[in-house]
Structure 1
């Protein structure tokens, strides 16, 4: 049993690392698509394609049955109605990606998102919004979150200069920070929904359905006023953001049950930053920003994730010891 638990923990950590890399890649894909077709149309393509992929699974009665469990849980009170709306955060994330990434780049967008996510995850774990029990705010956890924010702040100010991307637009950065705070809440809600569905793909479908509705609701008027896209000739690789989102949501819904929102968020921070660096190094427009200061910020963030992992393991051991009933005298 102990070996199985340890294997699950390792797999959950690997899934968390993969979701961070996918988020960085999705940001690049959706940002590039938005440069051609516009922000909201790119977001619609990304979320709509993901919803289409997941809807294929609805032909299976088992998949429809697992989705039906959500409505049963809401009616019975096992789930609150607002706990099934995690996809709203996902829709806003993709919408913000398509707006902010062309303006500030992948790394800067993720840095702002990570900052919001790290702070919000503390409160999410403390309030027990996810499927795991509430976790008190320990000094190590608070220090890890603060250190993560410090690391991303150092990386965010790399490549300075009046013409560099470090001179960030205030609006896209604030939007990315706010979306990052919502992302931690989404992860917690998805974990709860996944305990009901028992299938990450069913949880992902619900996310894409609510996220798509959100994007249509907030984007229809702006697109109608702007006249819609005039070009559709984006590179073929830029159209795959929806698939990244499908895998991202499915892995998140499973992994957060085993790691907790704070630890999951800090592990994804590490892979987001690493992948963003690779993407920026591969882009001639951002390659010169990857220097010693940005790498220092990434290293600090990785250390923060390691500290959070150690604290989480200690908390789980303490919780297991507390849960063992005392032997009768």
Structure 2
């Protein structure tokens, strides 16, 4: 059991790293082709990879369970739309990362997730029962928000060299990332319901990539029709800039396997820590972002991870109390 647990922990770290690598790859690609073309490529390349699973009759049977669950009322129609939040998240990657860096983007998203999880869990929108608000979880959300605020202005005093540096150039992208992070918890909740209906997380991943890709294509079409879509400036990008979609596939499949062996709490802590850590390392190797990795940004990262850890511990305590109550009632 111990070797399997260590392997699952390593996969959790790898999965979190994939989120940071995806953000860096998509951001680099966006610098050349524009935000929405880069987001679209990321989604549709991941969708193409996941579509290979359709050759399996067992996978197709699992996929058929989802529309059947919608027809029977086991799922609501909007539960399959979790990929909309994913589409917005990847689109925000391609917009925000070139301006503020990977680390600040990820801290903002994590902060939004911690805050929105209060509402999602309180309303019981996911597969788990509704959870009452606790002081610990509210405190965790507050800590995460402070971390986001610190990262939004990191590097300003040092004269950060990020494109568009300044109040609008730093705060606005972080605010957008935080807002999209608010939707991420809703996506996780809906995905949990779809996975429960399908029986395997790869079905949920395929549906997410399809819906997210459609979302990106719709927004991109509107921007193109109104003249707001930037034209590509070229395709002179390194090979790894095309790998954002595959990074997303690795994250989803790795997370689906690892969480079964580590539990949600341990997986979340390892993944979030590796996300922001790898994000900071990537920024340090990027000359346009290295000035932003200062003491203030590191403090913001630490607060975001602390808020996530406190929220996870509070959720674990709540789950133990519910388990004890059910055992006593039985």
What TM-score bracket applies, with the shorter chain setting the length?
Answer: 0.7 to 0.9
5+ residue gaps, structure 1, are none
Q: Is the 8 A contact 1:40 1:223 kept in 2?
A: no
**Alignment correspondent of 1:279:** 282
SS of structure 2 residue aligned to 1:324:
helix
Q: Determine if the alignment matches structure 1 residue 81 to structure 2 residue 82.
A: no
> Could you tell me how far apart the structure 2 residues matched to 1:264 and 1:181 are?
20
> Could you tell me how far apart the structure 1 residues matched to 2:8 and 2:126 are?
15
TM-score normalized with structure 1 length: 0.87
Q: Is the 8 A contact 1:69 1:197 kept in 2?
A: yes
Q: How many positions carry a matched residue from both structures? A: 321
5+ residue gaps, structure 2, are none
**Alignment correspondent of 1:320:** 323
Give the deviation of 1:112 after TM superposition. 2.5
> Could you tell me how far apart the structure 1 residues matched to 2:282 and 2:156 are?
19
C-alpha distance 22-108 of structure 1, shift in aligned 2 (>3 A): same
1:249 corresponds, among 244, 249, 252, to 252
**Alignment correspondent of 1:293:** 296
1:49 corresponds, among 45, 51, 57, to 45
C-alpha distance 124-311 of structure 1, shift in aligned 2 (>3 A): same
**Alignment correspondent of 2:62:** 66
2:125 corresponds, among 112, 118, 129, to 129
> Could you tell me how far apart the structure 1 residues matched to 2:141 and 2:9 are?
18
Q: Is the 8 A contact 2:107 2:301 kept in 1?
A: no
Mapping 1:32-181, distance limit 5 Å: 32-161=28-157, 163-164=159-160, 165=165, 167-169=167-169, 170-181=171-182
**Alignment correspondent of 1:307:** 310
**Alignment correspondent of 2:242:** 239
C-alpha distance 209-54 of structure 1, shift in aligned 2 (>3 A): same
> Could you tell me how far apart the structure 1 residues matched to 2:12 and 2:123 are?
21
C-alpha distance 40-15 of structure 1, shift in aligned 2 (>3 A): same
Query: What whole-Å deviation, never above 9, does each CA across 1:121-173 have from its counterpart, x for those lacking one?
Result: 11111111111111111111111121122223223332223842573435433
Runs of 4+ in structure 1 off by over 6 angstroms are 10-14, 254-258, 262-266
Output the aligned Cα RMSD.
2.8
> Could you tell me how far apart the structure 2 residues matched to 1:244 and 1:197 are?
23
Q: Is the 8 A contact 1:74 1:80 kept in 2?
A: yes
> Could you tell me how far apart the structure 1 residues matched to 2:152 and 2:39 are?
25
**Alignment correspondent of 1:193:** 194
TM-score normalized with structure 2 length: 0.86
C-alpha distance 181-255 of structure 1, shift in aligned 2 (>3 A): farther
> Could you tell me how far apart the structure 2 residues matched to 1:154 and 1:171 are?
13
Q: Is the 8 A contact 1:36 1:232 kept in 2?
A: yes
> Could you tell me how far apart the structure 1 residues matched to 2:255 and 2:125 are?
15
